[in-house]
Structure 1
Amino acid sequence: MASTNTVPLPGPQTQLAWRAITTADLDSWHALIRRMVDVDKPGWAEDRADLEHALERPGNDPEQDSLLGVDADGVPRAFGLVNLNPGSVRAIGFGGVDPAWRRRGIGTAVYRWQAARARARVQEREGEDPVLRSYAEANNPSHLALLESVGARVVRYFTEMTRPLAGELPEARLPGGMEFQTFSDDISERLRAAHNEAFLDHWGSEPRDPENWRFTVGHPQFRPDWSFVVLDQSSGDIAAYQLASYDPESPQIFGYSEGYTELLGVLRPWRGKGIAPAMLAEAMRRFRESGMQNAGLGVDTENPSGALKIYEQLGYTPVSRQVVYDLALDAESS
C-alpha cells in the first residue's frame, strides 16, 4: 500500500498552482517534457507511454507521489514524481521545469518536495542507507548546481554512446554450441527471470516484477524483431540476451536514426566467452537491415566488467553523460 503521509506542496512564491498529476494531464505533461527536451537535448526522452506507466506503477499513489505546477492559464510549467519499488528504500526522483520558467527557485521547490515525500515513504520500511536518487545530464549545469546545493552527492556516471552503421560491421561471432533466438512472448517470462539473475550484481539494479517487465516488452518503442536471447544448445538455457528499441523522434533529437540496445546481459556461467560483442554485432546487423543509421546504448562507466572498453573496441563513441546523485534520507535535508 502507498503511504498516507501527506507532504506540503510548494508555496505561492513559485507563482504556480500545485496539485497531483492525473491521467487527464498526460498530453499537456508530455508537451512540457518536449519543451524541456528541445532545450536540454538529453540522451533519452520520455514517451507518453512512459508517463502513463509512471502514474500506474504498483505501490505508488499518484495523488501523493506526483506533483504538477500550472500557471494562471492552467499550462503545466513544472512537475515532480517519486517512485519506490516494493521492499526498496531507494526512492527515484523524476522532475523538471519549463525552460521559460527556470531560475525562479521552482526546481529547488520541486526537489525539496521530492525529498520530503521520499523520506515519508522510506520511514515505513526497514533497510540501510535510504536515499533519494536523481539523474542529471552532465551538460545541464543548472540541474547539477541545484543537486549540489541541496546536499546530494555524486555516486555514479552513465554514458550514452553511438556507432555509425555505415561501412564494415564487427565480425564478432557466438562461441560454438550457442545460437540466437529472436524474442517472442513464449520466452518472455524465462527472459525476465534471466535478466533478474544477470543483474543481481549490477550497481543500482532491482528485480523487475512481471508487471514492470510486461511494460518493458510491450512499450511502443520496443522492437521484438531486433531483440533476442542467446541459447546454450546443450542445455536450452538462456545464456545472454539483448533487448532493443527505436525512438521515432531520434532523427529530430540526434540528427540520425538509431537502433538502441535497452538491455544487454550475460549470465554468470557464460561470462568471459565473448558473447556480449557477438550480441552487439548481431544487433547492428539487424538495425542496419531495418534502415537505421546508428546503433546506440548506455553504459555504467564504473562497471567493473569492462563494458565501456568493449563498446569502444566495437566503435561506439560517447555522445552524452548522465550524473547520478543520492541524497541521504536518514537526515534532514539542507
Structure 2
Amino acid sequence: MELPDGLTSRPLEARDARAVFEVMAAQEMADLGMVEIEEADIVGDWGRPSFDVGDSTVGVFDGDRLVAYAEISGHDRGDAALDPAMRGRGIGTALALWMQDKVRSRGGSVIGMPVPEGSPGDRLLEELGYRVRWTSWVLKLPAGATIVERPLPDGYAVRAAEPAEYPAVHTVAEDAFLEWSEREREPYEDFIAQITGRPGFEPWQLRVVVDGAGEVVGVAHVTLALTEDERPPEAYVARLAVRRDQRHRGLAQALMVDAFAVAREHGAESSCLSTDSRTGALGLYEKVGMEVTSVWVNRAIDL
C-alpha cells in the first residue's frame, strides 16, 4: 500500500476488533452524528468459519495506533473506515485500491461497500468511479412508540426459536434474502456463528413464527445495542424474513411487534432495523411508525 510517511500497514488479527470498532465509531460519529456499529458486530462477523481475518483485512497504523482499516467479506462486499483526523492524506484511496486488488486476486469482477450518503467516503468513491448499486435506510421506532399488533392466523404462534429449529431458521432467512440479493447462499455455519457466536447472545433473541404443524415460517433476530454510557440499550432487528408462501398474513408485523416487545422487556427503550431499495419494504416500516435516521448507499466498481 502507498501510504504517507510514518504510517505502516499489516493484516489484522482477531484481537484488533476493538481498535477497528473505535475507528468505525469515530467515523460514524463524524458522518452521522451517532454511532450505529457495535464491537459485537465485528466479533460476530469475524467469527464466521469461512472468514480468514488475516487474509481478508488490512490495518493502517500510526505507530501502534490503528487509524484506518479495510476488509473483504464475501465475493464482492468490502468495508472500510478511517479516523476523521487522518482524512485528506490519500489513505482512503489506498484502502480502496487494496480492496480492488484483493478481490481481483480471488477472481472477482466487482467490489462494493456501504457508505453514508453524502459523506466524505461517498464522495471519494464517486470520484474513483464507483456507481451506486442500491440505497439503504436505518429506521428507528421512537422511545415509547408501539406498532399496532396484527393477530396471527389461527394455529400460528410467535416465540423464541428452539436450538433444534436453528437450521430451519437459516433456511427461511436465506431463501427470503436470496430472492433479491445477488450472492452465494451463506453456509449454515457462517449464519449461526453471527448469531450464537455474537457476544451477548441469549436464546430469546432469535424469534420465530410457527404454523399449526410447528414448522418455522418466519424469523427475526433481535440484538441489544449496548452503549458505553448510562443510556439504556437499543434493540436492533438484524434479520426479518417470512417464507414466500406465508406472506400477506401479518406475520412480519407480528414478528416486529414481538421483537420490539421482548427487547423492551430486556431493557431496550427504542428499536431500529435497516432495509434497502432491493426489498421494497421501506414504505411498510414507515407505515407502522418507524422513522429514517440515516441513509446509506452501496457503491461498487467493476474490476
In 2: Cα distance, 1:34 partner to 1:167 partner: 27
Q: Give the gaps of 5 or more residues in structure 2.
A: none
1:28: Cα distance to partner?
3.3
Residues 258 and 293 of structure 1 are in contact (CA less than 8 Å); yes or no, is this contact kept in structure 2?
yes
Which residue does the alignment assign to 1:224?
203
The CA deviation at 1:56 is 5.2
- Hey, what's the Cα distance between the residues in 2 that align with 1:120 and 1:158? 29
CA RMSD, aligned part only? 2.4
Separation (CA, whole Å) in 2 of partners of 1:170 and 1:250: 31
- Any conservation in 2 of the 1:231–1:240 contact (CA below 8 Å)? yes
If the length of structure 1 is used for normalisation, what is the TM-score?
Answer: 0.81
Match of 1:267 among 237, 240, 243: 243
- Alignment match of 1:18 (pick from 9, 23, 37): 9
Letter in 2 for 1:23: A
The SS at the match of 1:323 is strand
Deviates further, 57-66 or 313-322: 57-66
Poorly superposed stretches of 4+, deviation over 4 Å: 52-61
- Counterpart residue number, 1:201: 179
**1:326 paired to 2:300:** yes
Q: Which amino acid aligns with 2:253?
A: P
Aligned to 2:168: 190
Q: Name the residue aligned to 2:116.
A: 137
Counterpart of 1:278 in structure 2 is 254
Alignment match, 1:127: none
1:114 aligns with 2:99: yes
Task: Give how far 1:74 is off.
Answer: 1.9
The Cα of 1:202 is off from its aligned counterpart by 2.4
Q: Deviations over 1:138-163 (max 9, x none)?
A: 252x1011110111100101100011
Distance 1:292 1:64, change over 3 A: closer
Are 1:81 and 2:63 matched, yes or no? no
Change (3 A) 1:302 1:198: closer
Amino acid corresponding to residue 131 of structure 1 in structure 2 = V
Offset, 1:311: 1.1
d(CA) in 1 for partners of 2:140, 2:41: 23
Partner of 1:241: 219
Amino acid across the alignment from 1:45? I
Distance change (3 Å), C-alpha of 1:25 and 1:197: closer
Q: Which amino acid aligns with 1:185?
A: P
On the 8 A contact 1:165/1:288 being kept in 2, the answer is no
> What are the superposed Cα offsets for residues 278-325 of structure 1, whole Å, 9 maximum, x if unpaired?
221222322333332212111113424xx2222112111100011011
Given the superposition, is the C-alpha separation of residues 207 and 291 from structure 1 closer, same or farther in structure 2, using an over 3 Å criterion?
same
Identical-pair percentage: 24
CA radius of gyration, larger in: 1
- How many residues matched? 301
Matched, 1:44 2:20: no
- Structure-2 residue corresponding to 1:98: 83
Change (3 A) 1:297 1:108: same
Matched AA of 1:228: R
Q: Deviations over 1:154-205 (max 9, x none)?
A: 0101100011242554131212221113123221122112222222202345
**Residues 258 and 64 of structure 1, relative CA distance in 2, 3 Å threshold:** closer
Please identify, of 104-113 and 24-33, the stretch whose mean Cα deviation from structure 2 is larger. Answer: 24-33
Give the TM-score normalised by the residue count of structure 2. 0.89
Q: Distance in 1 between matches of 2:145 and 2:125?
A: 42
> Is the 8 Å Cα contact of residues 3 and 94 (structure 2) preserved in structure 1?
no
Alpha-carbon distance in 2 for matches of 1:272, 1:280? 14
The residue aligned with 1:7 is: none
CA 1:13–1:292: 2 relative to 1, 3 Å = closer
Deviation by residue 1:41-71 (Cα, 9 ceiling, x = unmatched): 4663141x44445555445544443211111
